[in-house]
Amino acid sequence: MPLVPMRVLLDHAAENDYGLVALNVNNMEQIQAIMEAAQETDSPVIIQASRGARKYSEDAYLRHLMLAAVELNPNIPIAMHQDHGNSPATCFSAIQQGFTSVMMDGSLGEDGKTPMDYEYNVRVTRQVVEVAHAVGVTVEGEIGALGGIEDEHGAGLSEEEIKLHLTDPDQAEQFVADTGVDALAVAIGTSHGAYKFKKKPTGEVLKMDLIEEIHRRLPDTHLVMHGSSSVPQELQDIINQYGGDIKQTYGVPIEEIKRGIKHGVRKINVDTDNRLAITGAIRKVLAEHPEEFDPRKYLGPAREAMKKVCVERMIAFGQAGNAGKIKVKTCKEMVDFYIDLEKKKAKK
């Protein structure tokens, strides 16, 4: 089957009360790890690429790797998503590259760092929705700003500053009405990267009750949790055991994500956990076999370590066992869906 619009997967997840992990990729081994995990667990898949990933893979390598994933896994519905599009132009170029879903992150400016006002966010997001829906491509928007890494996206907010940029439920409701996004990323206290929390997060810093409130107001909008790596202790330990230097840190507990899934969270973004797994596996091979220089000898275990993380998340979030159950729609079919949706809205 061709790549499917992400909305098809999110709708199925919403109808059947589960969440989908959205996994960042940059290279072949990461895509293979995800597809192996999906085959093992019969999971539908969301693969996402940041602007950095597209640059690293020069777009064309990524596009052809995704075609390979589709060819080798005809039974698995796969959505290809632009993570943190910083401008309409980035989203449009992703659509041209065959992405079936785009995120217009208008919560930040084009520099990917500066928190922007509501009007700017609505303007750029609405612009992307109009173009994307006309070709059946899914759109994710964001309201509120996350903390964390400053490299290309993320306002670099501290744990304290994050509190000032949490999603306002009134604004979230208005934003969905003003833009028509399919999915909405919300800021609930998470941040990108490994250093999210200095201790296991309580409800004071990780505002899961905010998710409940937003879902109550927007029951038909698919909610997205960014910065949702769990940063498992064992992955930190492997890196440190083999010469790395990861300072003690805490991520988003899986139980909290499961709570989110009960309240409308359908897409959960995870990148850091896979980066940690890959790095730990490579460090271990090189430390134990300093004579080794065949890249397959360390990239193979790295792929296996990432696959393990993917399998665990696919099972935990409930997407396992659903690949074969989804009635797939193409982007072309989604065009009619959006036309009908607009007609229904106009009648109201």
**Minimum distance from residue 277 beta carbon to ligand 13P (Å):** 11
Residue 126 binds which entry of ligand G3H, Zn ion, ligand 13P, none, CB below 5-8 Å type-dependent: none
Pick one of Zn ion, ligand 13P, ligand G3H, none as the site partner of residue 152 (Cβ within 5 to 8 A by kind): ligand G3H
Residue span binding ligand 13P (CB under 6 A) among the ranges 91-99, 128-136, 205-213, 265-273? 265-273
Q: Could you tell me if residue 128 is left (phi over 0), alpha (psi between -120 and 50 degrees) or otherwise beta?
A: alpha
53 interface partner picked from Zn ion, ligand G3H, ligand 13P, none, CB below 5 to 8 A per type:
ligand G3H
**Would you call 104 helix, strand, or coil by DSSP?**
strand
∠ CA 348-263-259 to the nearest 5 degrees?
175
Q: Between 83 and 142, whose beta carbon lies closer to ligand G3H?
A: 83
Quote the tokens at residue 168. Answer: 């306002």
CB nearer to ligand G3H: give 113 or 329.
113
- How many residues at the interface with Zn ion, by CB under 5 A? 2
C-alpha–C-alpha distance, residues 311 and 63, integer Å: 24
The CA distances from residue 259 to 148, 211, 216, 343, in Å, are: 23, 9, 14, 35
Backbone angles phi, psi at 80, to 5 degrees: -115, 120
Residue 81 binding Zn ion, by CB under 5 A: no
Rounded to the nearest 10°, the torsion over CA 337, 346, 13, 86 is 90
Site string for ligand 13P, 193-232 (x = CB under 6 A): x--------------------------------xxxx---
Angle, vertex CA 136, rays to CA 333 and CA 175, nearest 5: 130
Rounded to an integer, what is the distance from CA 252 to the centroid of its chain?
Answer: 14
Helix/strand number for the chain, H first, E second: 14, 10
Residue 283 binds what, of Zn ion, ligand 13P, ligand G3H, none (CB under 5 to 8 Å, by partner type)? none
Binding site for ligand G3H (CB under 6 A): 24, 50, 52-53, 83-84, 151-153, 192, 271
Question: What single letter denotes the amino acid at residue 254?
Answer: I
Q: If binding is defined by CB under 6 A, does position 24 make contact with ligand 13P?
A: yes
Q: CB of 41: closest distance to ligand 13P in angstroms?
A: 20
Please count the residues of this chain forming the interface with ligand 13P, following the rule CB under 6 A.
13
Residues noted as catalytic: 83
Please tell me whether residue 226 binds Zn ion under the rule CB under 5 A. Answer: yes
Q: Among ligand 13P, ligand G3H, Zn ion, none, what does residue 228 contact (CB within 5–8 Å per kind)?
A: ligand 13P
Q: What is the Cα–Cα distance from 327 to 16, expressed in whole angstroms?
A: 13
Shortest Cβ 192–ligand 13P spacing (Å)? 4
The beta strand positions in 153-289, using DSSP E, are 183-186, 191-192, 222-225, 265-270
**Footprint of ligand 13P (CB under 6 A):** 24, 83-84, 192-193, 226-229, 269-272
**Footprint of Zn ion (CB under 5 A):** 226, 269
